[in-house]
Amino acid sequence: MNFVRIKDVNKYEGQEIKIKGWVYNKRSSGKLHFLQIRDGSAEIQAVAFKGDLPDEIFNLTDKITQETSVEIQGIVNKHERSKIGYEIALKDIKIIGESCDYPISPKEHGVDFLMQNRHLWLRAPRQRAILKIRHAIITSIRKFFDEEGFVLIDAPIFTPSACEGTTNLFETEYFDTKAYLTQSGQLYMEAAAMAFGKVYCFGPTFRAEKSKTRRHLTEFWMVEPEVAFNDIYDNMDLAENFLVYIVNYVLQNCKEELDLLERDISKLEKIKKPFARITYDEAIEILHKKGNETPWGEDFGGDEETLISEEFETPVMIYKYPAEVKAFYMKQDPDNKKLAMCVDVIAPEGYGEIIGGGQREENMNILLSKIKKHNLPEEAFDWYLDLRKYGSVPHSGFGLGIERTVAWICGLHHVRETIPFPRLMDRIRP
Looking at beta carbons, which residue is closest to Mg ion?
A: 356
Write down the least CB distance from residue 298 to ligand 4AD, Å: 16
Write down the least CB distance from residue 218 to ligand 4AD, Å: 7
Cβ nearer to ligand 4AD, comparing 8 with 303: 303
Report what 410 binds from ligand 4AD, Mg ion, none; CB cut-off 5-8 Å by kind. none
Interface positions, 301-360, toward Mg ion (CB under 5 A): 356
Residues that bind ligand 4AD (CB under 6 A): 163-164, 184, 186, 207, 209, 216-217, 220, 222, 224, 353-357, 397-399, 401, 403-404, 415
Beta-bridge partners for 199:
151, 226
Write down the least CB distance from residue 401 to Mg ion, Å: 9
Of 236, 392, 373, give the one whose Cα is nearest residue 315.
Answer: 236
Report what 399 binds from ligand 4AD, Mg ion, none; CB cut-off 5-8 Å by kind. ligand 4AD
State yes or no: residue 397 binds Mg ion (CB under 5 A).
Answer: no
Write down the least CB distance from residue 356 to Mg ion, Å: 3
Report what 404 binds from Mg ion, ligand 4AD, none; CB cut-off 5-8 Å by kind. ligand 4AD
Say which amino acid occupies 414: H
Report what 257 binds from ligand 4AD, Mg ion, none; CB cut-off 5-8 Å by kind. none
Cβ nearer to ligand 4AD, comparing 215 with 388: 215
Cβ nearer to ligand 4AD, comparing 213 with 292: 213
Write down the least CB distance from residue 346 to ligand 4AD, Å: 9
Report what 418 binds from Mg ion, ligand 4AD, none; CB cut-off 5-8 Å by kind. none
Report what 198 binds from ligand 4AD, Mg ion, none; CB cut-off 5-8 Å by kind. none
Write down the least CB distance from residue 109 to ligand 4AD, Å: 25
Write down the least CB distance from residue 13 to ligand 4AD, Å: 46
Write down the least CB distance from residue 300 to Mg ion, Å: 10
Binding site for Mg ion (CB under 5 A): 356
